[in-house]
């Protein structure tokens, strides 16, 4: 297999391709677009916070704030996409059954800033270590180049051994 093809960078992946690799649908899909993908290594995605998010109306109604647990969920969904897409590219698996990923450990999570209405979250994840079906990732979320959240996560997936 050609090395350039195997390590190909992908840009601007739309929502329909994201839904192929994740078992989530609106309103619980917290990735709008993949803007950078490096096979088995890194991924950058975006999430625009808008009024269509139903939980914003009830989470601090006078001053709506995007919940921190959903910021972590955005990082996790980006990680799950990276795992499934990399396994598909590397081994041409068919994803009709959409293998699930599970969070095993969340560590060193820091929130520095609020995410509010009309913010554009940039979610960067990087795979730090792989061991059998476990993947350790590091995730950073920024808004307007300011750090919002950083965390270290351990994720279990049946497809992790193939990335």
* From 20, 33, 42, 59, the catalytic residue: 59
Round the CA-based radius of gyration of the chain to a whole number and report it: 16
CB atoms within 10 A of CB 52: 9
Instruction: Give the integer Cα–Cα distance in Å for 136 and 152.
Output: 7
> Do residues 128 and 138 lie in contact, with contact meaning Cβ atoms separated by under 8 Å?
yes
Helix then strand count (H, E) for the chain reads: 3, 7
- Identify whether 84 is a catalytic site residue: no
Instruction: Give the integer Cα–Cα distance in Å for 137 and 128.
Output: 5
What is the residue whose two structure tokens read 């990923």? Answer: 101
Instruction: Give the integer Cα–Cα distance in Å for 82 and 85.
Output: 5
**Catalytic residue numbers?**
59
């Amino acid at each position: 297999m050609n090395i350039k093809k195997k390590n190909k960078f992908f840009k601007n992946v739309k929502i329909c391709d994201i839904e192929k690799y994740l078992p989530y649908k609106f309103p619980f899909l917290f990735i709008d677009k993949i803007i950078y993908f490096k096979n088995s290594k890194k991924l950058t995605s975006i999430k625009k916070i808008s009024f269509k998010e139903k939980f914003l109306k009830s989470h601090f109604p006078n001053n709506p704030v995007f919940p921190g647990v959903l910021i972590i969920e955005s990082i996790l969904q980006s990680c799950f996409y990276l795992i499934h897409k990399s396994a598909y590219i590397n081994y041409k698996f068919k994803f009709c059954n959409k293998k699930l990923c599970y969070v095993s450990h969340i560590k060193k999570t820091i929130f520095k800033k609020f995410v509010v209405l009309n913010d554009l979250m940039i979610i960067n994840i990087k795979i730090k270590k792989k061991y059998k079906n476990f993947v350790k990732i590091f995730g950073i979320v920024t808004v307007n180049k300011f750090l919002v959240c950083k965390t270290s996560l351990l994720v279990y997936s049946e497809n992790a051994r193939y990335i």
